Protein backbone atom coordinates (compact mmCIF):
# COMPACT_ATOMS: atom_id res chain seq x y z
CA UNK A 1 0.00 0.00 0.00
CA UNK A 2 2.83 2.35 0.86
CA UNK A 3 4.60 1.43 -2.38
CA UNK A 4 1.50 2.46 -4.32
CA UNK A 5 1.54 5.82 -2.54
CA UNK A 6 5.29 6.23 -3.12
CA UNK A 7 4.87 5.71 -6.86
CA UNK A 8 1.91 8.06 -7.17
CA UNK A 9 2.60 10.93 -4.76
CA UNK A 10 5.63 13.19 -5.14
CA UNK A 11 4.50 15.78 -2.58
CA UNK A 12 6.05 14.79 0.74
CA UNK A 13 3.27 16.31 2.88
CA UNK A 14 0.50 14.28 1.22
CA UNK A 15 2.67 11.18 1.04
CA UNK A 16 3.37 11.27 4.77
CA UNK A 17 -0.29 11.89 5.54
CA UNK A 18 -1.40 8.86 3.52
CA UNK A 19 1.35 6.74 5.08
CA UNK A 20 0.00 7.74 8.50
CA UNK A 21 -3.47 6.53 7.56
CA UNK A 22 -2.13 3.24 6.22
CA UNK A 23 -0.02 2.69 9.35
CA UNK A 24 -3.16 3.04 11.49
CA UNK A 25 -4.41 -0.29 10.14
CA UNK A 26 -3.57 -3.18 12.47
CA UNK A 27 -4.84 -6.02 10.27
CA UNK A 28 -5.55 -6.56 6.58
CA UNK A 29 -8.43 -9.05 6.44
CA UNK A 30 -9.62 -8.09 2.96
CA UNK A 31 -6.15 -8.61 1.48
CA UNK A 32 -6.03 -11.98 3.25
CA UNK A 33 -9.44 -12.88 1.81
CA UNK A 34 -8.23 -11.98 -1.67
CA UNK A 35 -5.04 -14.01 -1.23
CA UNK A 36 -6.98 -17.02 0.10
CA UNK A 37 -9.26 -17.13 -2.92
CA UNK A 38 -6.50 -16.58 -5.45
CA UNK A 39 -4.58 -19.54 -4.06
CA UNK A 40 -7.61 -21.81 -3.62
CA UNK A 41 -8.49 -21.36 -7.29
CA UNK A 42 -4.89 -21.37 -8.61
CA UNK A 43 -1.79 -22.38 -6.69
CA UNK A 44 0.61 -20.93 -9.30
CA UNK A 45 -0.14 -17.21 -9.24
CA UNK A 46 2.31 -14.40 -9.92
CA UNK A 47 2.95 -13.41 -6.30
CA UNK A 48 4.14 -9.89 -7.08
CA UNK A 49 1.05 -9.13 -9.12
CA UNK A 50 -1.17 -10.74 -6.52
CA UNK A 51 0.27 -8.50 -3.80
CA UNK A 52 -0.48 -5.47 -5.98
CA UNK A 53 -4.09 -6.63 -6.20
CA UNK A 54 -4.25 -7.18 -2.45
CA UNK A 55 -2.90 -3.65 -1.88
CA UNK A 56 -5.56 -2.24 -4.20
CA UNK A 57 -8.29 -4.05 -2.26
CA UNK A 58 -7.06 -2.68 1.08
CA UNK A 59 -6.65 0.85 -0.33
CA UNK A 60 -10.28 0.77 -1.44
CA UNK A 61 -11.44 -0.54 1.94
CA UNK A 62 -9.40 2.12 3.75
CA UNK A 63 -10.99 4.82 1.60
CA UNK A 64 -14.45 3.50 2.44
CA UNK A 65 -13.61 3.33 6.16
CA UNK A 66 -12.60 6.99 5.98
CA UNK A 67 -15.72 7.95 4.04
CA UNK A 68 -17.85 6.15 6.62
CA UNK A 69 -16.27 7.90 9.61
CA UNK A 70 -16.35 11.33 7.97
CA UNK A 71 -19.98 10.93 6.93
CA UNK A 72 -21.14 9.49 10.26
CA UNK A 73 -18.95 11.90 12.25
CA UNK A 74 -17.86 9.17 14.63
CA UNK A 75 -14.81 7.09 15.49
CA UNK A 76 -12.80 10.15 16.48
CA UNK A 77 -9.74 8.09 17.45
CA UNK A 78 -8.80 7.59 13.79
CA UNK A 79 -6.03 9.83 12.40
CA UNK A 80 -8.18 11.20 9.57
CA UNK A 81 -10.63 12.53 12.15
CA UNK A 82 -8.12 14.86 13.81
CA UNK A 83 -7.10 16.83 10.70
CA UNK A 84 -8.84 19.45 8.58
CA UNK A 85 -12.10 17.92 7.29
CA UNK A 86 -11.47 19.06 3.72
CA UNK A 87 -8.03 17.42 3.73
CA UNK A 88 -9.51 14.22 5.13
CA UNK A 89 -12.21 14.07 2.45
CA UNK A 90 -9.71 14.71 -0.32
CA UNK A 91 -7.33 12.09 1.12
CA UNK A 92 -10.05 9.44 1.12
CA UNK A 93 -10.95 10.35 -2.47
CA UNK A 94 -7.27 10.07 -3.38
CA UNK A 95 -6.97 6.59 -1.86
CA UNK A 96 -10.15 5.46 -3.63
CA UNK A 97 -8.81 6.64 -6.98
CA UNK A 98 -5.36 5.20 -6.24
CA UNK A 99 -6.89 1.76 -5.68
CA UNK A 100 -8.46 1.86 -9.15
CA UNK A 101 -5.24 3.17 -10.69
CA UNK A 102 -3.35 0.31 -9.04
CA UNK A 103 -5.68 -2.19 -10.71
CA UNK A 104 -5.16 -0.48 -14.06
CA UNK A 105 -1.40 -1.03 -13.65
CA UNK A 106 -1.72 -4.81 -13.30
CA UNK A 107 -0.30 -6.98 -16.07
CA UNK A 108 -2.98 -9.63 -15.51
CA UNK A 109 -4.95 -10.61 -18.62
CA UNK A 110 -8.06 -10.18 -16.46
CA UNK A 111 -7.22 -6.60 -15.47
CA UNK A 112 -10.33 -5.13 -17.12
CA UNK A 113 -12.60 -7.67 -15.47
CA UNK A 114 -11.03 -7.01 -12.05
CA UNK A 115 -11.46 -3.27 -12.52
CA UNK A 116 -15.10 -3.92 -13.41
CA UNK A 117 -15.53 -5.80 -10.11
CA UNK A 118 -14.05 -2.87 -8.19
CA UNK A 119 -16.45 -0.41 -9.81
CA UNK A 120 -19.47 -2.71 -9.44
CA UNK A 121 -18.94 -3.35 -5.75
CA UNK A 122 -17.86 0.22 -4.96
CA UNK A 123 -21.18 1.45 -6.32
CA UNK A 124 -23.05 -1.15 -4.24
CA UNK A 125 -21.18 -0.13 -1.09
CA UNK A 126 -21.94 3.54 -1.74
CA UNK A 127 -25.61 2.73 -2.23
CA UNK A 128 -25.70 0.84 1.05
CA UNK A 129 -23.93 3.68 2.85
CA UNK A 130 -26.43 6.21 1.53
CA UNK A 131 -29.36 4.14 2.73
CA UNK A 132 -27.70 4.05 6.15
CA UNK A 133 -27.03 7.81 6.14
CA UNK A 134 -30.62 8.56 5.12
CA UNK A 135 -31.99 6.39 7.97
CA UNK A 136 -34.15 4.72 5.33
CA UNK A 137 -34.25 1.27 6.96
CA UNK A 138 -37.62 0.35 8.49
CA UNK A 139 -37.64 -3.45 8.61
CA UNK A 140 -35.28 -6.34 9.34
CA UNK A 141 -35.31 -7.30 5.65
CA UNK A 142 -34.35 -3.78 4.61
CA UNK A 143 -31.61 -3.70 7.24
CA UNK A 144 -30.08 -6.94 6.00
CA UNK A 145 -30.20 -5.67 2.43
CA UNK A 146 -28.46 -2.45 3.46
CA UNK A 147 -25.75 -4.48 5.23
CA UNK A 148 -25.39 -6.71 2.18
CA UNK A 149 -24.64 -3.67 0.03
CA UNK A 150 -22.66 -1.59 2.51
CA UNK A 151 -20.45 -4.27 4.08
CA UNK A 152 -21.06 -7.46 2.14
CA UNK A 153 -20.01 -5.80 -1.11
CA UNK A 154 -16.47 -5.30 0.16
CA UNK A 155 -16.00 -8.91 1.27
CA UNK A 156 -17.54 -10.13 -1.98
CA UNK A 157 -15.14 -7.87 -3.88
CA UNK A 158 -12.07 -9.22 -2.08
CA UNK A 159 -13.14 -12.82 -2.71
CA UNK A 160 -14.22 -12.34 -6.31
CA UNK A 161 -11.14 -10.28 -7.21
CA UNK A 162 -8.94 -13.12 -5.96
CA UNK A 163 -10.86 -15.67 -8.01
CA UNK A 164 -10.85 -13.50 -11.13
CA UNK A 165 -7.10 -12.95 -10.80
CA UNK A 166 -6.54 -16.69 -10.41
CA UNK A 167 -8.68 -18.09 -13.21
CA UNK A 168 -10.60 -15.33 -14.97
CA UNK A 169 -13.99 -16.62 -13.85
CA UNK A 170 -16.90 -15.46 -11.73
CA UNK A 171 -18.85 -17.84 -9.53
CA UNK A 172 -22.30 -16.91 -8.23
CA UNK A 173 -21.53 -18.93 -5.10
CA UNK A 174 -18.47 -16.77 -4.30
CA UNK A 175 -20.50 -13.60 -4.67
CA UNK A 176 -23.26 -14.91 -2.42
CA UNK A 177 -21.10 -16.24 0.40
CA UNK A 178 -18.94 -13.14 0.19
CA UNK A 179 -21.99 -11.04 0.94
CA UNK A 180 -23.08 -13.31 3.78
CA UNK A 181 -19.64 -13.31 5.43
CA UNK A 182 -19.73 -9.51 5.23
CA UNK A 183 -23.15 -9.37 6.87
CA UNK A 184 -21.97 -11.64 9.69
CA UNK A 185 -18.93 -9.46 10.23
CA UNK A 186 -21.03 -6.30 10.28
CA UNK A 187 -23.41 -7.77 12.86
CA UNK A 188 -20.46 -8.59 15.11
CA UNK A 189 -18.93 -5.12 14.63
CA UNK A 190 -22.24 -3.40 15.34
CA UNK A 191 -22.59 -5.33 18.60
CA UNK A 192 -19.07 -4.38 19.68
CA UNK A 193 -19.77 -0.79 18.68
CA UNK A 194 -22.49 -0.57 21.31
CA UNK A 195 -19.76 -0.64 23.97
CA UNK A 196 -17.27 1.69 22.29
CA UNK A 197 -17.29 5.10 24.02
CA UNK A 198 -15.79 6.99 21.07
CA UNK A 199 -18.60 5.92 18.74
CA UNK A 200 -20.32 9.26 19.07
CA UNK A 201 -23.34 8.43 16.92
CA UNK A 202 -24.37 5.81 19.55
CA UNK A 203 -25.18 2.94 17.22
CA UNK A 204 -28.61 2.44 18.79
CA UNK A 205 -29.73 5.82 17.43
CA UNK A 206 -29.38 4.65 13.82
CA UNK A 207 -31.58 1.99 12.21
CA UNK A 208 -29.95 -1.34 13.01
CA UNK A 209 -30.93 -4.91 13.78
CA UNK A 210 -30.55 -4.17 17.50
CA UNK A 211 -32.81 -1.12 17.42
CA UNK A 212 -35.41 -2.80 15.23
CA UNK A 213 -35.51 -5.70 17.69
CA UNK A 214 -35.91 -3.40 20.70
CA UNK A 215 -38.71 -1.43 19.04
CA UNK A 216 -40.81 -4.59 19.02
CA UNK A 217 -40.82 -4.32 22.84
CA UNK A 218 -40.88 -8.01 23.66
CA UNK A 219 -40.32 -7.27 27.36
CA UNK A 220 -39.93 -4.46 29.87
CA UNK A 221 -36.14 -4.55 29.60
CA UNK A 222 -36.45 -3.63 25.91
CA UNK A 223 -38.49 -0.60 26.95
CA UNK A 224 -35.84 0.29 29.54
CA UNK A 225 -33.07 0.16 26.95
CA UNK A 226 -35.11 2.27 24.54
CA UNK A 227 -35.40 4.89 27.27
CA UNK A 228 -31.62 4.80 27.62
CA UNK A 229 -31.24 5.20 23.84
CA UNK A 230 -33.09 8.50 23.97
CA UNK A 231 -31.60 9.71 27.25
CA UNK A 232 -28.44 11.13 25.73
CA UNK A 233 -26.34 9.42 28.41
CA UNK A 234 -23.47 6.96 28.01
CA UNK A 235 -24.16 3.33 28.92
CA UNK A 236 -21.92 3.42 31.98
CA UNK A 237 -23.58 6.59 33.23
CA UNK A 238 -27.08 5.20 32.68
CA UNK A 239 -26.59 1.57 33.78
CA UNK A 240 -23.63 1.98 36.10
CA UNK A 241 -21.15 -0.19 34.20
CA UNK A 242 -20.55 -2.04 30.98
CA UNK A 243 -21.29 -5.31 32.78
CA UNK A 244 -24.73 -4.07 33.83
CA UNK A 245 -25.42 -2.86 30.28
CA UNK A 246 -24.49 -6.24 28.81
CA UNK A 247 -26.77 -7.94 31.31
CA UNK A 248 -29.63 -5.71 30.18
CA UNK A 249 -29.00 -6.63 26.55
CA UNK A 250 -29.14 -10.30 27.53
CA UNK A 251 -32.37 -9.81 29.46
CA UNK A 252 -33.92 -8.02 26.50
CA UNK A 253 -32.81 -10.77 24.11
CA UNK A 254 -30.74 -8.44 21.93
CA UNK A 255 -27.51 -10.40 22.37
CA UNK A 256 -29.14 -13.71 21.53
CA UNK A 257 -30.98 -12.23 18.54
CA UNK A 258 -27.83 -10.74 17.00
CA UNK A 259 -25.93 -13.97 17.59
CA UNK A 260 -28.66 -15.94 15.81
CA UNK A 261 -28.70 -13.52 12.88
CA UNK A 262 -24.92 -13.75 12.58
CA UNK A 263 -24.99 -17.55 12.53
CA UNK A 264 -27.80 -17.59 9.98
CA UNK A 265 -25.59 -15.52 7.67
CA UNK A 266 -22.63 -17.84 8.25
CA UNK A 267 -24.80 -20.90 7.65
CA UNK A 268 -25.93 -19.45 4.32
CA UNK A 269 -22.30 -18.78 3.45
CA UNK A 270 -21.37 -22.35 4.31
CA UNK A 271 -24.11 -23.67 2.03
CA UNK A 272 -22.82 -21.64 -0.91
CA UNK A 273 -19.20 -22.66 -0.29
CA UNK A 274 -20.14 -26.34 -0.42
CA UNK A 275 -21.75 -25.80 -3.85
CA UNK A 276 -18.47 -24.76 -5.47
CA UNK A 277 -16.99 -27.22 -8.00
CA UNK A 278 -13.76 -27.64 -6.04
CA UNK A 279 -11.93 -30.60 -4.47
CA UNK A 280 -12.89 -31.43 -0.89
CA UNK A 281 -9.59 -30.13 0.52
CA UNK A 282 -10.12 -26.75 -1.16
CA UNK A 283 -13.66 -26.49 0.17
CA UNK A 284 -12.38 -27.34 3.64
CA UNK A 285 -9.75 -24.60 3.34
CA UNK A 286 -12.46 -22.05 2.59
CA UNK A 287 -14.70 -23.33 5.37
CA UNK A 288 -11.84 -23.30 7.88
CA UNK A 289 -10.87 -19.71 7.09
CA UNK A 290 -14.32 -18.20 6.60
CA UNK A 291 -16.73 -20.17 8.81
CA UNK A 292 -14.93 -22.23 11.44
CA UNK A 293 -12.27 -19.80 12.67
Question: CA distances (Å), 234 to each of 87, 211, 226, 230, 231, in order?
Answer: 31, 16, 13, 11, 9
For the stretch 132-187, pLDDT in tens is 999 999 999 999 999 999 999 999 999 999 999 999 999 999 999 999 999 999 99
Cα 33 to Cα 292: distance, rounded to the nearest angstrom: 14
Confidence of residue 72 (pLDDT cuts 50, 70, 90): confident
Residue 204 is predicted with a pLDDT of 63
Q: What is the pTM of this model?
A: 0.94
Cα 180 to Cα 172: distance, rounded to the nearest angstrom: 13
* Sequence-ordered alpha helix ranges (H) in the chain: 2-8, 12-23, 29-41, 47-72, 85-104, 111-133, 140-147, 153-167, 172-193, 209-214, 220-229, 235-239, 242-252, 254-274, 280-287
Residue 200 is predicted with a pLDDT of 43
For the stretch 29-62, pLDDT in tens is 999 999 999 999 998 999 999 999 999 999 999 9
Residue 202 is predicted with a pLDDT of 54
User: Hey, what CATH topology would domain 1-166 get?
Assistant: Farnesyl Diphosphate Synthase (1.10.600)
For the stretch 258-273, pLDDT in tens is 999 999 999 999 999 9
Domain-wise residue ranges, the chain: 1-166, 171-292
Greatest extent of the chain over all pairs of C-alpha atoms, in Å: 61
For the stretch 221-265, pLDDT in tens is 999 999 998 887 888 889 999 999 999 999 999 999 999 999 999
Q: Say whether 33 sits in a helix, a strand or coil.
A: helix
Residue 234 is predicted with a pLDDT of 84
Amino acid sequence: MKDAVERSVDWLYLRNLLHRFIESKQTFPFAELCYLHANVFNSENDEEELYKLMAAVELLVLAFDMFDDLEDLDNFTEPWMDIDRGEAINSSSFLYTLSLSHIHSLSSPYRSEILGLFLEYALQAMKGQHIDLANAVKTEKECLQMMRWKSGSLTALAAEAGVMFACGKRYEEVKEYGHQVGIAGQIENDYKGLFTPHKQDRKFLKPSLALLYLQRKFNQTSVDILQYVHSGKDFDEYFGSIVAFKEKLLEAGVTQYLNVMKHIALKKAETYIKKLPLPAEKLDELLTNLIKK
